[in-house]
Structure 1
Amino acid sequence: MTRPPHIYDAIILGAGGAGLMCAAVAGQRGRRVLLIDHADQPGKKILISGGGRCNFTNLHTTPSCYLSANPHFAKSALGRYQPQEFIALVNRHGIAWHEKTLGQLFCDGSAKQIVAMLLDECAKGDVTLRLSQTIRDVRHADGHFHIKTDEQIAAAPALVIATGGPSIPKMGATGFAYDLARQFGLKIVQPKPALVPLTLPAEEKLFSTLSGVSADVVARCGKTAFREACLFTHKGLSGPAILQISSYWTHGQPIAINFLPESPADWLVTFKRQKPRVSLRTALSSVFPDRLAAVLADRLALPGELANCTDRALRGVEQQLAAWPFQPNGTEGFAKAEVTAGGISTAALSSRTMEAKVVPGLYAIGEAVDVTGWLGGYNFQWAWASGYAAGEVL
């Protein structure tokens, strides 16, 4: 690094949700901020989220909706920047929104509005944005972090890692944050795909014939359960209920699917009393899509008409349908994961400021950190909250 550096108060690496929020907050506090990203446009994951409408927060956000090696870490930032604060920002920019379900808020129009809003907030703080920049070198000397790109050398007493995790690599996502954190002695909690479809082994091939069929279920893994839709795919299981439970699943664990979360006890026995001459497949078709009813009936293999089945056998069927076991053999990986679980260890960071405890001036925010939210706007709320927490102290 021989050229004289451009001097800033803070350099933020990563122009995603967390980086944009952090830059805007710090810039509007009078800090001279440089925001760098290797992508050719900011907020790429924002743009594709929520089917292009951006599920930008969740009204029911609480720390219990997040996974981390330290489940208490997120409390401080989430408590100081809540969904209402971001909603107020959205309202000030005249962006129309709606609640879809389960507290999930979406733009009425386009996710582009959220990116434009954040860029406008950055402009108010005179943030310098540099896109399509490859980071060639990062080092710390003389109280400053020195960043070398193809175009310039920049230096600042504060450096923020906001480059996310490796989920959705086709969007340019990498593990750069972890390499940089390790360079400065910060530990990493093993990253893994989260909010990701699960794959099933060959012996479950019968269920692959259901590709495209969905059903309202309760998916359970250990003590954790979610009630939402389950979608069968040619590789295994997906849909909101499965994406949620995938964050809690580890290799070798079974999951259980309750296909009948609404059905009362003895519903199949009652059905037999009312229509004794129908088959199990016909009975299941009254509550399931036909293709799913056919596959389940085939697996359950009850003889003939319900009248030929004992009440005990039918109750056994109800129990199977209420806790149908699946043994996933993996996930569809980072390519299909909406977020990354794990990341920069929270043990290395201040929960109030997101600053590294042993490297003054170094911060980590957003998905790069070992804090992972549920599906439904929770991860964006963490991006806003953690970005705000760092931006307030830069």
Structure 2
Amino acid sequence: MTATHDIIIIGAGAAGLMCAATAGKRGRRVLLLERADRPGKKILISGGGRCNFTNLHVRPECYLSANAHFARSALARYTPRDFLDLVERHGIAWHEKTLGQLFCDGSARQIVDMLLDECGQGAVDLRCEAEIGNIAHADGLFSLNAGSDTVCAPSLVIATGGPSIPKMGATGYAYDLARQFGLKVVEPRPALVPLTLGGEEALFRELTGISADVSARAGKTRFREAALFTHRGLSGPAILQISSYWRKGDTIGIDFLPDHQGDWLLAAKRDQPRSTLSAQLRAALPHRLADALAERIALGGELGNLSDKTLRAAEQRLGDWPFCPNGSEGYAKAEVTIGGISTAELSSKTMEARKLPGLFAIGEAVDVTGWLGGYNFHWAWASGVAAGLAA
């Protein structure tokens, strides 16, 4: 059997497009296969249609993986500045929103067009609506049926992502393919996903639509951003971030007043003895939320009539309010998947499988999951470049 291409990449999302562009510009003959009717569909819906394409604060500590150091090599060799240089070369206007998050001024379509233009600078054959048959490996070549064609190449790149957002066509295909070739998979689960509440905590559903700036905690990990009450539980950036660290059965803690110093209620008792807890909370929080928290703490009467011990207990609860989610909203609402193809199976420099030379895995398919805010797109770029330079 003779190779029809140098590299076959399955999946024309962020990682696959970046890998194809990188390899194509090296003079490699690249076949990029996409099951959907067009490439980059997740890119197009990201960031409210403006694509949060990277983050200025990317560093290995912002990624979750069974191997905390795995992402370090790829991230060091392809930085946010590198991607920003690419964006600027293509004349795409951008802005920083908050916390280092970079967005297009215009449309996410600009990022997809940029990547397609980069692919066009090399020998990249992009085929959408590709029906992929069984994949085999023999005599140093990977072969598969792509529609009516049989194609083969010495390098195969798995870039099909994870099962998050199934309405976009996402599946666990990458894991099945990895297992076929003997690679281990770290159990996947939804990440960057809203959490659901049940039982007595369901009473908070009366606050649907209310958000507040909080500090959310899971274990020792903490994020300071907005939390949003929904008809099913908790969402908003702070909750999405914490969801990646949360496991079913665990409790999370919410500090509803992260800017308040210790003994703030005692100070209020001294300065405004006739004030109430509800009045103090209303000064800092949306009124319906303030009233709901005050009602659950059940401190009746004026602050001046309450003991310091009682007020300190109220402070403590408001500063680490426990919630025990009964689940999440699952892959349908998850922005990414945590877990995936084990990093123990891959080279951190090239993303190539240790057991099977020529096989690569990149992007969300791999057990590397970033924080909310452009980190996962940057992992797609960095891992795609790493494989594109090596395959």
- Which TM-score bucket, shorter chain as reference? over 0.9
Q: CA deviation at 1:235?
A: 0.8
Equivalences for 1:56-67 in 2 at 5 Å? Answer: 56-67=53-64
Name the TM-score, length of structure 1 as normaliser: 0.97
Describe how 1:246-325 pairs up with structure 2 within 5 A.
246-325=243-322
- Note the 1:203-282 alignment, pairs <5 A: 203-282=200-279
Instruction: Name the structure 2 match of 1:44.
Output: 41
Any idea what SS the aligned residue of 1:148 has? Answer: strand
Counting only pairs closer than 5 Å after superposition, residues 125-140 of structure 1 correspond to structure 2 as 125-140=122-137
Whole-angstrom distance in 2 between the partners of 1:167 and 1:6? 33
Q: Which residue of 2 aligns with 1:344?
A: 341
Moved more, 328-337 or 265-274: 265-274
Task: Note the C-alpha offset of 1:151.
Answer: 3.3
Q: Which amino acid aligns with 1:278?
A: S
Residue of structure 2 equivalent to 1:29: 26
Match of 1:170 among 149, 167, 177: 167
- Whether 2:170 is the aligned partner of 1:182: answer no
Q: Contact 2:3 / 2:154 at 8 angstroms: preserved in 1?
A: no
Q: Which piece of structure 1 moves more, 259-268 or 359-368?
A: 259-268
Residue aligned with 1:145, SS: strand
Post-superposition offset of 1:312: 2.3
Decide whether the 8 Å contact of 2:223 with 2:238 is kept in 1. yes
Residue among 76, 81, 102 paired with 1:79: 76
| 16-25 or 125-134, larger mean C-alpha shift | 125-134
Match status 1:200 vs 2:197: yes
- State the Cα distance separating 1:201 from its structure 2 match: 1.3
Q: Equivalent residue for 1:152?
A: 149
Kept after mapping to 1: 8 A contact 2:3/2:141: no
Q: 2:51 aligned with 1:20, yes or no? A: no
> What CA distance in whole angstroms lies between the structure 2 residues aligned with 1:158 and 1:126?
15
Indicate if the aligned counterparts of 1:345 and 1:370 stay in contact, CA closer than 8 A.
Answer: yes
Greater mean deviation of Cα atoms: 103-112 or 278-287: 278-287
Cα distance in structure 1, aligned partners of 2:311 and 2:155? 66
1:274 Cα deviation after fit: 3.2
CA positional deviation for 1:58 = 0.5
Aligned match for 1:335, one of 312, 315, 332: 332
Cα distance in 2, alignment partners of residues 143 and 310 from structure 1: 77
How far off its partner does 1:6 sit?
7.2
> May I ask how many residue pairs the two structures share in their alignment?
391
Asked if the contact 1:276/1:307 (under 8 Å) is kept, the reply is: yes
RMSD of aligned residue pairs (Cα, Å) = 1.2
Deviation at 1:264, TM superposition (A): 1.7
- Residues 144-166 of structure 1: CA deviation (Å, up to 9, x unaligned): 11111323221111000000000
Question: How far, CA to CA, are the matches of 1:261 and 1:217 in structure 2?
Answer: 6
Provide the C-alpha distance between the structure 2 equivalents of 1:309 and 1:115, rounded to a whole number of angstroms: 61
CA distance in 1: counterparts of 2:96 and 2:281, whole angstroms: 33
Give the drift of 1:272.
2.7
Contact map agreement 2:352 2:387 (CA 8 A) in 1: yes
Q: Which residue number in structure 2 is paired with residue 362 of structure 1?
A: 359
- The answer to whether the 8 A contact 1:196-1:331 is kept is yes
Q: Deviations over 1:259-299 (max 9, x none)?
A: 11101222222223333333321221011101101110110
Q: Deviations over 1:41-64 (max 9, x none)?
A: 111111111111000001100001
CA drift at 1:307: 2.8
Find the residue that maps to 1:334 and give its secondary structure. helix
Corresponding residue SS for 2:106: coil
Task: State how far apart, in whole Å, the 2-side matches of 1:370 and 1:347 are.
Answer: 10
For 2:15 and 2:112, the matched residues in 1 are separated by 12
Report the Cα distance in structure 1 between the residues aligned to 2:147 and 2:93, rounded to whole angstroms: 40
Q: What's the CA shift string for 1:15-41, capped at 9, x where partnerless?
A: 000000000000000000000010111
TM-score (norm. length: structure 2): 0.98
Stretch moving more, 312-321 or 252-261: 312-321
Sequence identity percentage: 69
Alpha-carbon separation, structure 2, partners of 1:307 and 1:134: 73
The separation in 1 between residues aligned to 2:201 and 2:372, in whole angstroms, is 26
Question: What corresponds to 1:371 in structure 2?
Answer: 368
Runs of 4+ in 1 over 6 A off after TM superposition: none
Q: Could you tell me how far 1:232 is from its partner in structure 2?
A: 0.8
> Are 2:383 and 1:383 aligned?
no
SS in 2 for 1:165: coil
Secondary structure in 1 aligned to 2:145? strand
What is the CA distance between 1:5 and its match in structure 2? 7.8
Matches within 5 A, 1:101-140: 101-140=98-137
In 2, Cα distance between equivalents of 1:362 and 1:200: 42
CA contact (8 A) 1:5 1:153 kept: no
Q: Secondary structure at the match of 2:330?
A: coil
For residues 235 and 331 of structure 1, the distance between their equivalents in structure 2, rounded to whole angstroms, comes to 9
CA distance in structure 1 between the aligned counterparts of 2:266 and 2:355, rounded to whole angstroms: 65
> Residues of 2 paired with 1:309 and 1:211: CA distance?
31
Contact 1:5–1:154 (8 Å) recurs in 2: no
